[in-house]
Chain A
Amino acid sequence: MTSNYLEAVRAGLMSLKPADRERALEALAAQLAELGEANLDPAVALGDAGDYAAQLSAALTDPPQPADPQWRVLGLPVETRGPGSAEVRTRAWDPLNPRIIVPRIFGLGWRLNYGALAVRLGLLRPDDASPEVFEAISEVELRVAQAVPAVIAGITSITLAASWRKLPRKAPKATLILQAALGAIPAAWAQLPQEHPEDRLIRAALSSSMAVLSVAAVATTVAQAQTKNPQQDRWELLPLAAVPVAGAATLATLVVPIRRALSRIWSKHV
């Protein structure tokens, strides 16, 4: 009876995102088991399966999507909630949203949705990044992903500290500290304890890209302070060149563990 009820509800949830649907059905399976223990008929406790599915679907359908900005100013999206909000953070990684360009996580303008990019590049399918797959990512893989920004930011800070005394007098030291912090603070943020593997990976990936940009900014500032021919050397182009590298680091931090988890799940079913 319980499995029939569950399947009937599943049929009524097909309009939901696959990840939301599976999560809701997993919870419902546990709840039906509890009702069974209490000798309660699901059809009596929850009502007709079709009606209950409609109720559940309504509860899980967001009026505003995470991809929607908080405000718009002269047509430009504006977001003030920042990466502290999980809902806003998912904009950076939403494979189910086909839009590659989405509103920024914080501030004015747009940014890349790495989930859509991974789908467009053929690295993943939109529904590959399900809760089941994230649960299959091992603790070691999560820690390696979290270590990426920490290692990059750590090397930047240590190298900068070691060469501090040798820096030219005209080197803007306060700027250098700020540029190193640009990588170190997000890297520390990525290490904060988090329950959900998806959240841990998104934080690690976003921090990896910040760490790469931080290296480029520090290297540019040092090189500009040391150069004798600023007109010819064009060191200011280095941060621009680092942007695709930062994007690649973000994608790799997210996609590699997901694909490894997918391979493990597929190998179990083949």
Chain B
Amino acid sequence: MPMDKAIQLRKGVLELATLAVLAREECYSIEIIEHLGAHPALAATPGTVYPLLARLDKTGLVTTRWVEAPGGPPRKYYRLTGEGRAMLTGGTMAWAALSEAMTEILEKSA
């Protein structure tokens, strides 16, 4: 698959992946990027993740709070809201159905 197609696909699922990361634990921005980066297909730059976080915050899917950081400026932590959790549940189901259908259709075309 051409690289730009892979990037478009990955961008589409990055929001769901970010919600999944935050469902496990409250994180600050760089931690989220690190968690995503643990999966090469989801590795993303701050330039991609930060606007996404701003969007999630604006739409009420995540909430933020300042936390004192030892030896540095306070950090802004992100965590899922109830609406974010509901969105993750819906997204997980949609992703599972899409993934199953894609696997099936791609196997047939192989």
Contact = CB atoms under 8 A, between A and B. Distances in A.
> Is chain B found bound to chain A in the same assembly?
yes
B15 to A, nearest CB: 10
Contacts of A47: 47
A114 B5 CA distance: 46
Interface in A16-33: 20, 23-24, 26-28, 30-31, 33
B72 A45 contact: no
A55 B30 contact: no
Interface stretch (B16-24, B35-43, B56-64, B94-102): B56-64
A38 interface: yes
Interface residues of B, number: 26
Contact of B52 (A20, A52, A59, A85): A59
Contacts, number: 73
Given A45-B45, A86-B83, A59 B30 contact: no
Q: How many residues of A sit at the interface, in one of the four size bands? A: 20 to 34
B92 interface: no
Contacts of A35: 30, 46
A27 B59 CA distance: 15
A157 to B, nearest CB: 28
Contact of B47 (A20, A24, A55, A195): A55
Given A30-B76, A45-B47, A56 B54 contact: yes
A52 B46 CA distance: 10
A59 B54 CA distance: 7
A46 interface: yes
Interface of A: 20, 23-24, 26-28, 30-31, 33-35, 37-38, 40, 45-47, 52, 55-56, 58-60, 85-87, 195-196
Closest 10 CB pairs of A and B: A30-B76, A59-B51, A86-B60, A59-B55, A46-B47, A33-B73, A24-B54, A45-B46, A56-B51, A31-B29
16 contacts: A23-B54, A23-B58, A24-B54, A24-B58, A26-B76, A30-B29, A30-B73, A30-B74, A33-B72, A35-B30, A45-B45, A45-B46, A46-B45, A52-B51, A59-B54, A60-B51
